[in-house]
C-alpha cells in the first residue's frame, strides 16, 4: 500500500508521464496526417497519359521556336527603359505621366 501512495504522489508520474505520452503520441499522429496530405498531392499530380504526352511535346519544341520568332522581328535599338510606379504612387496617374513624357520626346 505504501508503494501505491508514493506513486500516486509522484510528480513525475502525475505530470511527466502524460506529457511524454502527448509528445510521443502527437508525433505519430502528425506523421499520419502529413502522410495523407502528401498522398493526396501525389494523386492530384497524375495526368491522363494522352494529355501528358501532348503537354510534354508542346513544351519541348514549339515554345522556344515561337519565342525566337517573336524576338527576331523586334527592333531593340529604340528601346526605352520606363520605371514602374512605386507602391505609394497612383499607378494610373504615373502611367499617364510616362506616356505624356514619351509623346513629348517623339
Question: 13 φ, ψ to 5°?
Answer: -70, -35
Q: Is the pLDDT of residue 52 over 80?
A: no
Distance (Å, whole) CA 87 – CA 91: 8
Distance (Å, whole) CA 99 – CA 93: 10
Q: Which parts of the chain fold into alpha helices (H)?
A: 2-9, 11, 17-45, 49-57, 63-72, 91-105
Q: pLDDT for 63-97, tens place per residue?
A: 777 778 888 888 777 777 777 778 887 778 878 88
Q: Is the pLDDT of residue 39 over 60?
A: yes
Give mean pLDDT, residues 14-36: 90
Give the pLDDT band (50/70/90) at residue 19.
very high
The ranges assigned to domains in the chain are: 1-73
Amino acid at each position: 500500500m505504501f508503494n501505491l501512495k508514493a506513486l500516486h504522489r509522484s510528480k513525475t508520474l502525475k505530470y511527466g508521464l502524460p506529457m511524454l505520452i502527448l509528445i510521443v503520441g502527437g508525433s505519430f499522429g502528425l506523421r499520419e496526417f502529413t502522410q495523407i496530405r502528401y498522398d493526396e498531392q501525389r494523386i492530384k499530380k497524375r495526368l491522363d497519359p494522352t494529355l501528358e504526352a501532348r503537354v510534354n511535346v508542346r513544351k519541348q519544341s514549339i515554345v522556344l521556336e515561337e519565342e525566337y520568332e517573336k524576338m527576331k522581328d523586334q527592333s531593340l535599338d529604340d528601346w526605352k527603359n520606363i520605371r514602374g510606379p512605386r507602391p505609394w504612387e497612383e499607378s494610373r496617374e504615373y502611367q499617364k505621366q510616362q506616356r505624356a513624357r514619351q509623346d513629348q520626346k517623339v
